[in-house]
Amino acid sequence: MRDSIGLAYLLDNKCGVSKYTYRITGGINADLNAVPWMAYFHAKGTFFCGGSLVNHWFVLTAAHCFKHNDATIYVRLGENDASRLYDCDEYECAPQHSEYWVVKKFTYPYFKTARYYDIALVKLNQNVVYSKSIQPICVILDRRWQGYVDSIQNFMVTGWGAKDYTEKSERLQLAKVPQVDRWTCRSRFGYNVDRTHICAGDGSHYVGKGDSGGPLGAMVNIGQYRVFVQFGIVSHLRQPFFGVSVFTNVLSYSSWINHTIVNNNNS
């Protein structure tokens, strides 16, 4: 696809399309099929992180999600309300969610803590068939888009993370979060927040416990299409979690993402 910035090299050209509209002021329940790229990670029957489907085989998430998890990891796609077998709205019901398991994890080589290099890919046990409720998110592989990312005022973040003080939400949540400059972020977190990070959130719009690994993104015009593009991964939450959070900047790792997928797509 071509944009005014140049070629937008995407992992999957049929990506980022849903019925979702970008008119959200705070945390709300996601409509049915509104965020079809969301992945629900669980092990031993317990949810622990979110992620995003990026093509037929791979899910993008945060490396810290796997730091202390050696159990068999399952990935649920097409999920909205984890308390229900079938998700329905007033007009229709979606097919039952699909379950996969992780056959291989790829964490960024220099990862140690959530402060830096907090990115991972997982390969699923079988090819994912796209449907109305399961679609890939757009991931741009052209780092010339960084200036555009820096200019975005508000992002959208999604996940099953904490609402208020609860452990997690059974229903997938959407929230619009304002971008915060890195200088402010550095002062709040006390470490070098650099261009490999994105900062976003405030007292009214934030991510919570359980949102880790989920996507931060925005609607973007690419050519004649308007699609949802992932620019960040939920990484480091300020404790208590109300307020600004640090996200892994996906563009900073575009070469690693592409290299990992290309070299392991058929292995």
Catalytic residues: 64, 118, 212
- Contact of 216 with 237, CB cutoff 8 Å: no
Q: If you search the block for the tokens 């002021």, which residue do you land on?
A: 25
Token pair listed for 236 = 């480091």
Spatial separation of the C-alpha atoms in residues 87 and 129, rounded to whole Å? 19
DSSP-based helix, strand, coil % in the chain, nearest 5? 15, 35, 50
Name, in order, each residue with C-beta under 8 angstroms of 240's C-beta and a sequence gap of 6 or more.
none
Token pair listed for 252 = 């900073």
Q: If you search the block for the tokens 């925005």, which residue do you land on?
A: 218
